[in-house]
Amino acid sequence: MRNIDVSEITAAVREMCIEVNHKLSPDMVGKLTDAREREESPLGRQILGQLIENMDIAREEMIPICQDTGMAVIFLEVGQDVHFTGGDIEDAVNQGVREGYTEGYLRKSVVRDPIDRVNTGDNTPAVIHYSIVHGEGVKITLAPKGFGSENMSRLFMLKPAQGIEGVKEAVIAAVADAGPNACPPMVVGVGVGGTFEKCALLAKKALTRNVNERSKIPYVAELEKELLEKINCLGLGPGGLGGRMTALNVAVETYPTHIAGLPVAVNICCHVNRHISREI
Amino acid sequence: MDRHISLPLSDADALSLKAGDYVYLTGELYTARDAAHKRMYDALNEGKELPVDIKGQVVYYLGPTPARPGHVIGSAGPTTSSRMDKYAPRLLDLGLKGMVGKGKRTQEVIDAVVRNGAVYFAAVGGAGALLSKCIKKAEVVAYDDLGTEAIRRLQVENLPVIVVIDSAGTNLYATAADKWRK
């Protein structure tokens, strides 16, 4: 068994909040650079050029990449031989978010109640997904989620008879409907299978995958490639103002499901697809 | 066509802008997003005055990140305009001349743009660091308690935007994809 003081978690979350909002991961930078090369629309190329310049300014001058610095979504994979000391783990994570968003001059975008809508003033609480894994380490993945694209995400409870064609239609419909609202070029996370909530979580998790990686399941990898190609035939383009580069990547995660169901969740993210992981 | 336009937006300039024009805006505009719009709308419903005179003005749908010391403002890109669709026609009918945001608008908003000879511009979503460089001055002028959602008066210089809906009702989003669809 290993003891981990929760103050270590707080410090890590704090640093990750600041880093991830100013510096896109190398895989995302590569995709955007590549998209500018491949875009055929002149206006689309100009917009992609602005997005690349924006990333440089953000990193060099410590101005957040986007003003929507998101709601902090955190995946916490905790080794089953870990014993947390020094306080409550949930409080420790939220303290890290509080410190990161306050000291990092990030936007406070969280309201305490969905109806009365009073801002909590420190971007807490985070949305935390825990999983218990083998070993005595802790892996923290932080993916702050902006809501321009979150609002365009969709969940479909398909019939098994609709099969893989139904999945494709659902994803394309969600992306086409999102259009310019979701700040294309987008990254599309798709969950297929499980239950209502499980497939939404799969879609969210898919967004944290390295955008250069394909699924290890051969038919799923093919599906990802086909969906990306189809999405990039929609013509929406950067900013939704016309062009080829509507999506930078499609990542699909699957899970066993019920004999009666085929849930499909489409979690859309803009080109500011922020994700960062750290192991403790 | 590339255009350089001064703010506040004159009636003549508003009428001359066409969907697809690439425009650099220079001058003063106001920020307001969800909470400020709701408050303005409630104020109007209660027969009260708006906290700023919106006649002839342009509103930028923006909630910036806090400014670092020595900076005018933090990251400052557009938010999704459709959430303001409920409120926009009323403000346009009261003289609001332009809106800067991103994303689709309802037919009611398009009709109000036409009726009032106004313009809807899009700025590039997710380019908040770049766009912040065009903001030379920022001050909160109303609803300070709303934090990032307060109404701010901004002095901008060459803020790059694209005309999406013009005063004739032409909507660039409706046709932009056609040319590139396969």
**Helix, strand or coil for residue B170?**
coil
Q: What CA–CA distance (Å, rounded) separates B60 from B27?
A: 13
CA distance A82 to chain B (A): 37
Is B126–A233 a contact, with Cβ atoms under 8 angstroms apart?
Answer: no
Q: What CA–CA distance (Å, rounded) separates A201 from A199?
A: 5
**Residue B17: what pLDDT?**
98
Q: What is the mean pLDDT of residues A8-12?
A: 98
Token pair recorded at residue A182: 């979701």
Report how many domains make up chain B.
1
Inside any domain, residue B180: no
Inside any domain, residue A56: no
Q: What is the DSSP string of A117-175?
A: --B-SS-PPPEEEEEEESSS-EEEEE--B-HHHHTT-EEEEE-GGGHHHHHHHHHHHHH
Residues A97 and A230 in one domain: no
Q: Decide if A185 touches B, using CB distance below 8 A.
A: no
162-181 of A, contacting B, C-beta below 8 A? 179-181
Chain A interface disruption, residue of B120, B124, B145, B162, most A CBs within 10 A: B124
Q: Decide if A51 touches B, using CB distance below 8 A.
A: yes
| Candidate from B66, B74, B130 with C-beta closest to A57 | B130
**Last residue of a domain, which of A144, A160, A186?**
A144
User: Per residue in A165-191, pLDDT tens?
Assistant: 999 999 999 999 999 999 999 999 999
Confidence band, pLDDT 50/70/90 cuts, at residue B55: very high
pLDDT at A198 over 90: yes
**Residue A4: what pLDDT?**
98
Closest-CA residue of B relative to A52 is B127
Residues A11 and A110 in one domain: yes
**Residue B163: what pLDDT?**
98
CA distance A80 to chain B (A): 38
Q: What CA–CA distance (Å, rounded) separates B23 from B124?
A: 12
Report how many domains make up chain A.
2
pLDDT at B1 over 90: no
User: Per residue in B88-108, pLDDT tens?
Assistant: 999 999 999 999 999 999 999
Q: Which CATH number belongs to the domain containing residue A214 in this structure?
A: 3.30.1330
Q: Which domain holds residue A91?
A: 2-19+66-144
Residues A97 and A210 in one domain: no
CB-CB neighbors (< 8 A) of B148 in chain A: 67, 107-109, 119
**Residue B102: what pLDDT?**
97
| Candidate from A105, A233, A235 with C-beta closest to B68 | A105
Inside any domain, residue A13: yes
Is A63–B180 a contact, with Cβ atoms under 8 angstroms apart?
Answer: no
**Last residue of a domain, which of A126, A144, A162?**
A144
Is B82–A272 a contact, with Cβ atoms under 8 angstroms apart?
Answer: no
User: Per residue in A107-134, pLDDT tens?
Assistant: 999 999 999 999 999 999 999 999 999 9
Is A237–B64 a contact, with Cβ atoms under 8 angstroms apart?
Answer: no
Does residue A223 contact residue A167 with C-beta atoms inside 8 Å? yes
Q: Which CATH number belongs to the domain containing residue B43 in this structure?
A: 3.20.130.10
A64 cis-preceded (ω within 30 degrees of 0): no
Chain A interface disruption, residue of B1, B73, B104, B130, most A CBs within 10 A: B130
Residues A159 and A128 in one domain: no
Share of chain A above pLDDT 90, in %: 100
Is B148–A241 a contact, with Cβ atoms under 8 angstroms apart?
Answer: no
Q: What CA–CA distance (Å, rounded) separates B146 from B133?
A: 24
Confidence band, pLDDT 50/70/90 cuts, at residue B60: very high
